[in-house]
Structures are given as C-alpha cells and as structure tokens.
C-alpha cells in the first residue's frame, strides 16, 4: 500500500481491515492473511443471508448451518 493510502481507505469493513493491517504498532497490526480470511467469511455469510432471503429457507436450516447458540453463551 502506498504511504497515506491507508488513511483514505474509508470507514467500511474493508477500510477498517486495511487500516488495521497498516498500524505502526506490531501488537495491534493484523496480517494480510487475516484480512483475506475476514473478507472470505464476510462474503460467505452475505451469500447465505441472501440465499435465505431469496429462497425463504426456514430459520431452522440456518441454525443447522451456523448453530443455535445465543449470544454470549458457549
């Protein structure tokens, strides 16, 4: 990435990932592999949500695919 380009990358999800990959502090910096994995995960979730909305799958099939865990519980 060209110097200064990270500051103008935006505040969307990809922009935040790109900023995090360019932090000066090594402890807070994420790798390019993490950025790629996060983009893949985001794309897969978006595709599944679109499939559910277009094809009217029941919520039970979503739970089977992603699990039926309440937030905060393991």
In a domain, 30, yes or no: yes
Q: Using pLDDT thresholds of 50, 70 and 90, give the confidence band for residue 4.
A: low
Residue 24 lies in a domain: yes
Residue pLDDT, tens place only, 50-65? 887 777 665 566 566 6
Is 73 contained in some domain? Answer: no
Q: What pTM was estimated for this model as a whole?
A: 0.55
Instruction: State the total domains in the chain.
Output: 1
Q: Which domain holds residue 58?
A: 6-66
59-66 helix and 32-55 helix, angle to the nearest 10 degrees: 160
Output 44 or 65, whichever has higher pLDDT: 44
Is 74 inside a domain boundary? no
- The residue that leads in pLDDT, 68 or 18, is 18
Tokens of 72: 């905060």
pLDDT in tens, 20-42: 888 888 888 999 899 999 999 98
The confidence score (pLDDT) of residue 28 equals 85
């Amino acid at each position: 990435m060209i110097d200064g380009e990270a500051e103008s990358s935006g505040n969307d999800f990809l922009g935040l990932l790109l900023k995090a990959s360019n932090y000066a502090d090594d402890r807070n910096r994420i790798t390019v592999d993490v950025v790629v994995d996060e983009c893949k995960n985001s794309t897969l979730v978006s595709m599944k949500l679109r499939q559910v909305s277009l094809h009217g799958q029941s919520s039970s099939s979503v739970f089977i695919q992603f699990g039926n865990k309440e937030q905060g519980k393991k």
